[in-house]
Amino acid sequence: MSEKSISTQSNSAQKTTKKTENKILDIKYEFSLAYIINQIIYKNKKLKIYYEKINQQKNSIFNLNDPSVTIQKYLHRIFKYTFIEKSTLIISLIYLDRICRQKIFLTNYNIHKLLVISILLAIKYNEDSIFENKFYAKVFGINLNELNELEYEYIKLIDFQFFINEIEFNQYLLFFDDYSRKYI
């Protein structure tokens, strides 16, 4: 066997191994993020103001009438088509937290839209190569005009604050990794 064919086989094996490793990491991140979000919503449901907040926010642009897909399945679709990096995922958590500080209360009805816009903005902030919103609209299952409107409203709510310092990023990374180790 020639060196070239061994090298080609080795490169092919390395690519396959790397794809498998990335897939395992994606699944782990997918489960971790879904778990974190579901825990937040579960804790929110225990609060006396949960249903009051749902009624207050029911006309919000971010609400869905009936979320027919679980967060886990929704994240699976997003991960399958966007190939986001772990750092982008952490940034999306930070943005999600920022929007919650602006009097947005996470519920089963608004998490889908808030999550996808958090991820979209994190991709745009952090990734080297991004697609047009038309692509993301298809992945997220939202029409393009609605996606653009959601993005605009979200950006206003977080007061155009995209920058994340290293300390803040590392705090969220540690939190995410701890959750991943403990519960997944």
Tens-place pLDDT, residues 109-157: 888 899 999 999 999 999 988 999 999 999 999 999 999 999 999 999 8
Name residues whose C-beta falls within 8 Å of residue 140's C-beta, 6 or more positions apart in sequence.
78, 116, 120, 147
Q: Give the pLDDT mean for 165-184.
A: 87
The tally of domains found in the chain comes to 1
Q: Can you give the pTM of this predicted structure? A: 0.77
36-40, 51-55, 73-77, 146-150, range with the lowest pLDDT: 51-55
Domain with 157 in it: what CATH number?
1.10.472.10
Sequence length of the chain is 184
pLDDT at 125: 95
CB-side neighbour CA atoms (13 Å) of 106 = 23
Q: Which of 4-8, 80-84, 145-149, 173-177 has the highest mean pLDDT?
A: 145-149
**Whether the Cβ atoms of residue 150 and residue 117 lie closer than 8 Å to each other:** yes
pLDDT band at 83 (very low <50, low <70, confident <90, very high): confident
Arithmetic mean of pLDDT, 56-65: 60
- Tokens 């997944």 identify what position? 184
Residue-range definition of the domain harbouring residue 121: 3-183
